[in-house]
Chain A
């Protein structure tokens, strides 16, 4: 964070400024107010009009100053009924406090010593229901852009003295507040240190969202897979914290990041814990299958129709041949046209306002699809496969991995076109190699699969009932790994006892 301090060459903002320098530079802004107060108390007030809550200024600060004859800053500090006042002569702090929406009082203009009064406008969105990770059952709170509100949402759910919040400022210009949360005594020290270290090492001018942090502290920034799980649900964050994970919340971002994470975690929804375990496991498997289908369905179509049509049974072959009879393109071109159309629709839908987006969906899905088939540009069968694949890719509970899956199928298409099913296998093997190598905050990303961890498999592809989840995931290497005593849980009652 402070690395830039070391090279004096391009300091921004400048060091060793005096209060006067700062005031001079601030005066260039229109909303910066400096005015002397001539009443019982003689002093100078300065603040940013756009940052300060008028109520605090008009109803608390000014009456206190006008009604009493105050001779020093210390007296003011005693009188003004606002908490968090401070008197200092640090020019650096002068600028910082001013930017954070404090009202600053000096006895004379450009005086070194000053009093800061926090009076920032607390303007932010109300806590609303989660939209990206919606669930029918379960809590319906989602994070907002305010860091304090977000931490409050977590603390309310996890009333634990061990819940520790560390805070730092990142971004040379934005000085964004970033909080690191963990449960002391459960979370592994190594994980916490890695996260803190990486956050501290960030050297960039702006942090506009938590996704900046994701990309900056990721173990492999060239990977298409997100290595930190981002969520907008406080209950999910609480769950992560209890499992011994480290959570990063960035001011101004409604998404918290939790790490270390694994690939299977991206396919688990919070619903999985609200439903009975067999249903939850079933849905989770469906989701996993959907993702695999979404990635390899069109490549397999290309592979089979281009090279291995013998694989299709005779009856099915008739259906496919009749639907493809008039198509002038080879399968690969047909697939690419349709896949690109779907991506186009999706991208347009994501950029447009909701209501227009729906129209686009209908126009694109029905009109273009039907027209393309009727015009003989694509086959019905492929249209079904592509549409299903697109639908399946929406089942991912975490939005970030959905983006990855969207583009993942294109390398597979190349492989399929080159060497059929063998090509698909080879591309898959490349991804497997990548996933095995990938780490999340130094912990293996492909975890319960490799390194094989039987304990963690209890909550991976399926979710076993809570009375079987006696251990916190080994993947995070928690200091205290026991959730409850499995032995006692296993004690069974005999008949009629």
Chain B
């Protein structure tokens, strides 16, 4: 389908290879959520919550398949799908909602990361100054376009790899019996835990926007699925390690299980690894914020004839102001829960879109359009 509005035909030198889909999808999914998701998912299904992760992972695979069908059928991105299905005005409204949603994702990640630093490193941190510098960094990336952000995604996955290795330390002194009895929880409990883990899996829907930037779109499908699979596996390992180390009651008192587990890492030249871990986590979080901002500011660019730069500035100011205004743990918790809920409904929206597309195609086909 041809889209009259500008910014759709992506020149080849701005594209990324299909392999990079793996990094884009994976690095957007893993963010601050990973640092403390264990407690929340264990609230529902207890220590069977690892099954919930698998369930959520499978659901995400399904959603990803739908997204690919949508994109392949429509041959564009989210904006063209919306325009195709709902027309200019309703579609435009939905586009804007998505833009705000991506901004919300960035905000949640940014503010939660600042919170992590406040809790673990600098209780007296000057939030707005830190947010300003971090957002300037994000701006520097986003202004370079998707290619530059993709580079950061790649590096963030590489830099995050050694952190996985440190899961080994708590495993040595943990107790496997914590996991037993296995499969004790009911189906509904497992599903509710799976729903709670939504926040950790959010981000792959950005594919709806960066899809036109992928060089070999057919080949990218397997990489996207591989990315989701890798995310699921990392969450699974993280959850199991946390469950093995802490017992069920203990875990309920620990907000940031992954960071707490880093404390166990001990070298002759280095104790309290969590400071370094949080330092490295700055790289893991960065692609989240950059991609979120990029996607959020790209939607208005696609809809109106407006420069992405200006939208980006506006969004940066919004993020800066809101993240400076939020100043206590309870608000941040509420923000996370809210994003989790909203994200869940946005994910539910994908099958709706898929079915609508299916019907629309049938109808149009019958009418010979």
Contacts and interface: CB of A to CB of B under 8 A. Distances in A.
Interface of A: 307-308, 310-314, 316, 419-422, 424-426, 429-430, 432-434, 436-437, 446, 449-452
Main secondary structure on chain A at its contact with chain B?
Answer: helix
A452 B20 CA distance: 9
Which 9 residue pairs across A and B have the least CB separation, nearest first?
A421-B279, A436-B151, A450-B151, A425-B282, A425-B279, A308-B275, A310-B272, A311-B272, A437-B144
13 contacts: A307-B122, A310-B271, A311-B273, A311-B276, A419-B117, A419-B121, A420-B122, A421-B275, A422-B278, A424-B279, A425-B283, A429-B152, A452-B19
Contacts of B130: 419
A436 B125 CA distance: 30
Interface of B: 16-17, 19-20, 117, 121-122, 125, 130, 133-134, 137, 140-141, 144, 147-148, 150-152, 154-155, 266-273, 275-276, 278-280, 282-283, 286
B52 to A, nearest CB: 32
B268 A433 contact: no
A461 to B, nearest CB: 12
A313 B269 contact: yes
Nearest to B266: A313
A451 B14 CA distance: 12
Contacts of A421: 121, 275-276, 278-279
Contact of A433 (B16, B17, B148, B267): B148
Contacts of A425: 279-280, 282-283
Given A310-B275, A436-B148, A452-B20, 20 more contacts: A307-B122, A308-B272, A310-B271, A311-B271, A312-B270, A313-B270, A314-B271, A316-B268, A421-B276, A422-B278, A425-B280, A425-B283, A426-B134, A426-B282, A429-B283, A430-B137, A432-B155, A436-B144, A436-B147, A437-B148
A306 to B, nearest CB: 11
A433 B140 contact: yes
A422 B121 contact: yes
A433 B141 contact: yes
A451 B144 contact: no
B282 A313 contact: no
A311 B275 contact: yes
B340 to A, nearest CB: 26
A459 B280 CA distance: 27
Nearest to B290: A433
Contact of B270 (A311, A429, A433, A434): A311
B271 A313 contact: yes
Given A310-B271, A420-B122, A426-B137, A433 B282 contact: no
Contact of A450 (B154, B271, B275, B286): B154
Nearest to A317: B271
Contacts of A424: 279
A392 B12 CA distance: 41
Contacts of A449: 154-155
Nearest to B16: A451
Given A420-B121, A422-B121, A432 B276 contact: no
A104 B309 CA distance: 62
Contact of A422 (B16, B151, B279): B279
A419 B282 CA distance: 12
Contacts of A451: 16-17, 151
A284 to B, nearest CB: 19
Contacts of A450: 150-151, 154-155
B144 A422 contact: no
Contacts of A437: 144, 148
A310 B276 CA distance: 12
A436 B137 CA distance: 13
B335 to A, nearest CB: 21
Contacts of B278: 421-422
Contacts of B20: 452
Nearest to A304: B275
Contacts of A419: 117, 121-122, 125, 130
A410 to B, nearest CB: 17
B220 to A, nearest CB: 15
B240 to A, nearest CB: 27
Contacts of A311: 270-273, 275-276
A442 B238 CA distance: 42
Contacts of B121: 307-308, 419-422
Contact of A430 (B140, B266, B280): B140
Contacts of A434: 140
A362 B272 CA distance: 40
A77 B132 CA distance: 76
Most chain A C-beta atoms within 10 Å of own C-beta, residue among B150, B151, B268: B151
A436 B152 contact: yes
Contacts of B16: 451
Nearest to A430: B137
A308 B133 CA distance: 21
B152 A422 contact: no
Contacts of B117: 419, 422
A429 B20 CA distance: 19
Contacts of B282: 422, 425-426, 429
B44 to A, nearest CB: 33
B21 to A, nearest CB: 13
B18 to A, nearest CB: 12
Contacts of B141: 433
Contacts of B137: 426, 429-430, 433
B10 to A, nearest CB: 16
A32 B282 CA distance: 69
A432 B154 CA distance: 11
Given A432-B152, A436-B144, A426 B133 contact: yes
A419 B278 CA distance: 12
A449 B134 CA distance: 24
Contacts of B270: 311-313
